[in-house]
Each structure stands twice: as structure tokens, then as C-alpha cells.
A = this chain, B = another copy of it.
Amino acid sequence: MRTTNPFDDDKLREECAIFGVYGSEDAAAHAALGLHALQHRGQEGTGIVTYDEAGDQFHAHRDNGHVGDVFGDPAIMKTLVGGSAIGHNRYSTTGDTMRRNVQPLFADFEFGGLALAHNGNLTNALTLRDELVRAGSIFHSTTDTEVIVHLMATSQGSVVKRLVQTLRRVEGAYSLVLLTRKKLIGVRDPMGVRPLVLGRIRDAYVLASETAGLDILGADYVRDVEPGEMIVISADGLETLFPFEKRPSRFCVFEYIYFSRPDSIFDGRSVYDARRQIGAELAREAPVEVDVIVPIPDSGVPSAVGYAAAAGVPFEFGIIRNHYVGRTFIEPTDEIRHLGVKLKHNANRAHLEGKRVVLVDDSIVRGTTSRKIVEMVRAAGATEVHLRIASPPTTHSCFYGVDTPERGKLLAAQNTIAEMAALIGCDSLAFISMDGLYRAMGADSRNPQAPHFCDACFSGEYPIALTDRDAAGRPQRQLSLLRDAG
């Protein structure tokens, strides 16, 4: 059962959250809270593995569903004994929606147990998988992540040595947390595409995809784990390693634009503030004379606040969002599919009727929702509807851990801006420029030596090789011969 609703499919989707804690009195509760705060990064499944030093036993609970449902049963929580834990929220980019794909993965090694959770996507996973299978490895899941576990199993030496050997062979974007009997390990890929932050609460260390996962615990934000950094936490304290060749940093700019919570902070930069600045820059780049600035909620709100302040035009909630959109709502009949957007949004006629309106959104993927919202705003009596987008046109798929449609379904990959405006039915359409985006981020898009981001979805410049893909970007092998019925 898909747990997301069919009308929400006009956004890119983050694939995962990861979380780790070491030295806590209540590691499982901390993990559940942290994962709850990171629920937006993956709603399909969730899992926690703890290690109980007293009983020398790992404990796990992993299931499809939301954190509050999977870990809402106190009887379950009581079984998750131990002072260290890692956890994961899943949104599938590779692998089906099967329970056996829910992370953290776990394996018994010669040296004892190992649990692992991954945010990102490995771009040579299928190639490595073929090689491992030929040598006798048996894959249980269809996730790219399992490749890491098998590479470690067939490596030699300590956990850290095996992990370094392994990561030198994988390509792609990854932030990982690993748990053994003695250690909690966190690591980011050499370019730091996906986020991972370090926190502290009393004597315990915490690793989380975003600072929002620290705040919910009352943990202090210490710093971001650096690109290519491996942090090893044990009874001896925190040790840091840089086992990879130095490469330029390429943090995913879409984390600032849409994926992350507005209250999260990366590299000292507030996500909310970044969005607000992009909105302000957009107001400067694409001004228009209107009566009111209206966000498309929720993701367009911070940019719209920035746009309105910079433009000196009143900000109003001209569109109201219903947060109760059911997880398995009414099977879309044709009529309901047509009504679709209204399950989530409604026009606030009092602030649209007779007005010239700027709508602000974070991005356009397929454009289907944008078209319906513009139609709804016009039906509520707006005299002009101008659409402003707080990111450049999304023209390319992401292969680094984000669920994007094939290129052919990306509106901006197939159409000029004028064509897009016509399809959407707005009076004008403007995207922020790549330069403007970097400017708003305090960076320089022309200078790759200056702080730079992964912007492949806008530019098509993929910083990491796409080994498993053919020229058309399609994967080259069926992932498993087995299909589970239920």
C-alpha cells in the first residue's frame, strides 16, 4: 500500500532521514523523536536498531508506516533496550515498497552485529551487486544500501577498516550511520551531497540528517559532519577521519529550496532564511505590479514572505491548505481526479476577488498542480495571476537520492518558459536565475572554487559518475527476480 496520496505527486521527494545516538539513557526514545522530526524526508517506512550492552543483544523494529504509528506502541518501545541506536525513515528511490527494504539493515559479522542506515543513492550499486553475487553474496533486499553491507562482509579487519575499504569502492551520494557493539559511526560522501549534522545532549552524541532532529530532543547543534568526514564515536569519545581523497564540496541546493525543514540549519545557514532571501532576490529579478503576494502553501511560504517584504506588497494567505489529506484517500475517479487539488488547497476568496495576485512556489515539476491552482485562483475572482518560482527550471533528473520523474515528464525539460506559462495559464511566469539563486545563497554560480552546490537538476552537470545508467539514464538490470505478494 502506498502511504502517500495521489495528488501530492507534483513535488520532488527526498528519500530518507538517518539518525544515530550514542551514550544516551533512552536511545530508542531519542531515535523515535528524532525520526519523527525528520518525517518529511521519508514517510514510507521507518526503523530503529538499538544495542543493549548489558544483554549483548541488538534489538530492532522496522515496518512500513509513519514514525508515530510504527513506534506508537509502548510495548514495542520497551523492547528497544540499550544506550545506543540508529534509525531511518524511508522513501524509496531504489527498491520496492517492501517491508524487507525498510532500514536500518542488520548483519551478523565475524566480529559481531552491524546495523546501517543510508540517505542518498549509490550510482554504481548494480555493477557492484553483480560482482558480489558472482562471488557468492546473497542479497535480501532490493536497496542499493545492501551493497555496502556485503562489501564490508567480504572485506578484512576492523569495522572502520572494512568501511573505508568499502566506501573507496562505492560511487554516489551518501550519508551513513552505522552501529556496532562498541561504536556509532557517521560518514558523508566525499562531495557531501547529502546532509548530516552532529549534536550533543548531556553526555550523548547525536547524528541526524537535519538540525530539526536535534532540536526536538533539546540537543545542541555542534556542527555539520564535513564532506568526506568519518566520525567514530565510542567509549573513548569522538574520533574524526578523512579517509578519502579531497574533492570539492557539492551540497544539494534543493535541501535549501524544498527538502529540509525551514527550521533546520546547514553550515550555519538557516533554511528558512535561505528561502526568504531567494524570495527577495526573485522580487528584484522578476517584479510585477500587483495587489497581494500569496504563497502556495506550505512550501512557498518563506519565499513569499521574502518576496512580499522586498516588493513592499501585502502578504496574505490567499490559498488555504487542508493538512488532513488522507494517507490512502478516495480512489481517484475521473471526477475526483479533476477536483484533485482541492483535497489539499482551497482559495480564500476574500483575499483574491478583484485582486492582481503574485503566487509564489518553490519549484515546478510536472506543472499539473500549478495549473489547477492558477485556475482555482482565477475562479475565486483574481484579475491577474502571476507565478513566481523560487528555483531555476527543473530540467534534469536527480540520481543522488531524490525521487524525480524521468526527464520526459519534467515540464521545464520539454518547454520554454513562455510555453510553460501558456500551459499553466498564468499571466506571467518567472523562475529565479541560477545566478540569482547563488547570490541569494551568498555564493557565486560562476566560480566553482567558491562555495558551490550540486545543482544538477537545474544544470545537468552531474558531479559524480552515473556508472549504473545508460546514456538515457535508465538502470541496466532487473533488481530482483522475486516479487512478494503481500
Give chain A's interface residues, CB within 8 Å of chain B: 5, 26, 29, 32-33, 36-37, 39-40, 43, 49, 56-63, 66-69, 71-74, 76-77, 79-80, 100, 106-110, 112-113, 133-140, 149-150, 153-155, 212, 215-218, 261-263, 265, 270, 272-273, 298, 301-302, 305, 309, 314-317, 320, 322-331, 333, 335-336, 339, 342-343, 346-351, 480-486
Instruction: Tell me the complex Cα distance, A272–B315, Å.
Output: 13
Q: Once the chains bind, are A326 and B212 in contact (CB under 8 Å)?
A: no
Q: Give the most central of A59, A77, A109, A350: most B CB within 10 Å.
A: A350
- What's the minimum C-beta distance from A293 to chain B, rounded to whole angstroms? 12
B107 near A69: Cβ-Cβ < 8 Å: no
Q: Given the complex of chains A and B, what is the CA–CA distance between A158 and B414 in angstroms?
A: 49
Copies of this chain present: 4
Residues of B within 8 Å of A347, CB to CB, are 215, 263
Which 8 pairs between the two chains have the least Cβ-Cβ distance?
A68-B326, A270-B350, A136-B154, A61-B485, A113-B481, A39-B324, A72-B328, A263-B320
Please determine whether B262 and A317 come into contact, CB atoms closer than 8 angstroms: yes
Contacts A262-B348, A325-B68, A333-B29: A110 and B133 contacting too (C-beta < 8 A)? yes
- Chain B contacts of A113 at CB under 8 A? 481-482
Q: Is A69 within 8 A of B327, CB to CB?
A: yes
Instruction: Give the chain B neighbours of A339 by CB distance below 8 A.
Output: 33, 216-218
- Chain B residue with minimal CB distance to A270? B350
How far, in whole Å, are A325 and B320 apart by their CA atoms in the complex? 19
- A33-B343, A72-B327, A216-B342 given. 19 additional CB < 8 A pairs? A32-B330, A36-B326, A61-B484, A61-B486, A62-B484, A68-B329, A79-B483, A108-B133, A136-B136, A138-B149, A140-B140, A212-B320, A261-B320, A263-B320, A263-B346, A270-B350, A272-B350, A315-B315, A323-B323
Which residues from chain B contact A39 at a C-beta distance below 8 Å? Answer: 322, 324
- Chain B nearest CB: distance from A255 CB in Å? 16
Residues of B within 8 A of A484 (CB): 59-62
Point out the residues of chain B lying under 8 angstroms from A73, CB to CB. 328, 486
Q: Which of B68, B272, B323, B349 contacts A348 (CB 8 A)?
A: B272
A81 to chain B, nearest CB (A): 9
Q: Which residues of B contact A68 (CB under 8 A)?
A: 5, 324-330
Contact A322–B72 (Cβ < 8 Å): no
B110 lies within 8 A of A317 (CB) = no
**Closest CB of chain B to A155's CB: distance in Å?**
8
Residues of B within 8 A of A57 (CB): 481-483
With a CB–CB cut-off of 8 A, which chain B residues contact A100?
100
Name the residue on B nearest A261 (C-beta).
Answer: B320
